[in-house]
Structure 1
Amino acid sequence: MTDHDDSSLTSRWRHGARLAACIVFLLGMFYLVAVARVIDTNGIRDMIAETGPAAPFVYAVVSALLGAILVPGPILAAGSGLLFGPLAGTFVTLGATVGTATVSSFLGRRAGRESARGLIGADRAERLDAQIERRGLWAVVGQRFVPGAPDALSSYLFGALGVPLWQMATGAFIGSAPRAFVYTALGASIGDLSAPLAYTAITVWCITAIIGAFAAHRTWRTWRRHGEEVDPATKP
């Protein structure tokens, strides 16, 4: 084995270790906030409610930051519905969702993009960049429709893969709108889940899940096919 091969192997190990450390950190954070519930979201919601007319803006900002540290989005959206009702709450939730996507993607890009590119190699990285330039926005939109896909963790991954922030923000806005309504409406009707609003929210969720599953399958096939066809030299 040559010195160049040794250096390349060492570099790959270093990049792999860095990505592994990031993944372990995120999983640990997810356990603390989603399983152990070390953050009292109800208490935070009550404090924000006391800010008066500024409450919607404060809640959107705080929820964006809490989402970035992996507090489950449905819990935050339900709180928005309780505080502001289904209409205003949906816009608050959507603003918070876009904020979470932007912050998480930025952090993922800073922490993991160099290592991700180092692991997959220069040629594959260039092909991936070409794919992202052409279809990154719709990949983000599609992910938001996939049932059960964690938005914040996905945003970290998109950032590490190099998806631009504008694609993340725009894709999150478009793709999160249905679920923002669903979870906010359910939160607003938590006292009466037999209300028409709750049934409407559940119907929207079911339709979104079906579309998301179909779109995810089709997008994956398209990315694989075009990933094999795209030549870095032809990238616009």
Structure 2
Amino acid sequence: MTDTEGASAASRRGHIVRLALFAAFLLGLFYLVAVSRVIDVEDVRRTVAATGPLAPLTYVVVSAVLGAVFVPGPILAAGSGVLFGPVVGLFVTLGATVGTAIITSLVGRRAGRRSARGLLGADRADRLDGLIERHGLWAVVGQRFVPGVSDALASYAFGAFGVPVWQMAVGAFIGSAPRAFVYTALGASISDLSSPLAYAAVAVWCVTAVVGAFATHRGYRHWRRRGRAGNRPGTVPTNEGSPNTHDTAEGP
């Protein structure tokens, strides 16, 4: 093994260790906050309510930070509905959602971007950047409709892979709007779950769940088809720019 190969292997191991430590930190934080519930959301609500006229803005900031440390979004959105009602609460929830997306994206980019590019290699990383530039916004929107996926964890990953902050913010706003309405409206209707607003929230939740399941299934089938096409005997992968790729033209 040459010195260059040894240095490359050592650099690769360093990137793997760095990403593994970052993932372990996020999973530990997720367990403490989302599973063990070390943060009392009721105390947070009372503290925010005590700020008076500034309560909506305060809740946006506090909820954005809490969302970034894996406090479940439905609980925060419901709290917004309880405190501010369905209309103001919806905008507060969306503001906090966008704030969480920005925070997690920036942290993910700072902690994992260089290592992700190092593991992918310059060529693959550049191709991924091109895909993100064209489709990153709708990838963020689509992720918000996928059931069972933590938005914060996904946003950390998007940041590590270089999704621009503006795409994260706009995608989170668009993709989270239906669920933001659902949980905020349910929070606002907590004292009367037979109200029309509660029924509307349940209806929107059902539609969102169906759309998310359909989109996930369709995306999986598309991925399977591409995988089978790439592995089919006789299929030659395209390798543009490779030194072995050239046109042959025989002379007379």
TM-score by length of 2: 0.86
Mark the CA change 1:199 to 1:231 in structure 2 (over 3 Å): closer, same or farther: farther
Paired with 1:165 and 1:210, the residues of 2 have a C-alpha distance of 28
**Offset of residue 149 of structure 1:** 1.6
Alignment of 1:54-203 (within 5 A): 54-203=54-203
Paired with 2:135 and 2:217, the residues of 1 have a C-alpha distance of 15
**Offset of residue 12 of structure 1:** 1.1
Q: How many residues align?
A: 232
Mark the CA change 1:195 to 1:229 in structure 2 (over 3 Å): closer, same or farther: farther
Tell me the secondary structure at the aligned position of residue 147 of structure 2.
coil
Paired with 2:82 and 2:185, the residues of 1 have a C-alpha distance of 9
Paired with 1:218 and 1:120, the residues of 2 have a C-alpha distance of 27
C-alpha distance after superposition, 1:2-52 (max 9, x if no partner): 222221111111101100100110111111111111111110111111111
**Offset of residue 219 of structure 1:** 4.9
The residue identity in structure 2 corresponding to 1:16 is: I
The residue identity in structure 1 corresponding to 2:52 is: G
1:27 aligns with 2:41: no
The residue identity in structure 2 corresponding to 1:64 is: A
TM-score by length of 1: 0.91
The residue identity in structure 1 corresponding to 2:67 is: G
Tell me the secondary structure at the aligned position of residue 111 of structure 1.
helix
Tell me the secondary structure at the aligned position of residue 70 of structure 2.
coil
Tell whether the 8 Å contact from 1:139 to 1:219 is kept in structure 2 after alignment.
no
C-alpha distance after superposition, 1:84-132 (max 9, x if no partner): 1111111100000000000100000000010111112111111110100
Paired with 1:115 and 1:213, the residues of 2 have a C-alpha distance of 32
1:14 maps to 14
Mark the CA change 1:231 to 1:172 in structure 2 (over 3 Å): closer, same or farther: farther
Tell whether the 8 Å contact from 1:146 to 1:216 is kept in structure 2 after alignment.
yes
Paired with 1:193 and 1:46, the residues of 2 have a C-alpha distance of 23
Tell me the secondary structure at the aligned position of residue 81 of structure 2.
helix
Paired with 2:136 and 2:89, the residues of 1 have a C-alpha distance of 28
1:38 maps to 38
Mark the CA change 1:61 to 1:193 in structure 2 (over 3 Å): closer, same or farther: same
In percent, how many aligned pairs have the same letter? 69
Which has the greater radius of gyration?
Answer: 2
**Offset of residue 180 of structure 1:** 0.4
The Cα RMSD (Å) is 2.2
Mark the CA change 1:11 to 1:67 in structure 2 (over 3 Å): closer, same or farther: same
Tell me the secondary structure at the aligned position of residue 39 of structure 2.
coil
Tell whether the 8 Å contact from 1:186 to 1:193 is kept in structure 2 after alignment.
yes
Paired with 2:111 and 2:30, the residues of 1 have a C-alpha distance of 17
1:212 aligns with 2:212: yes
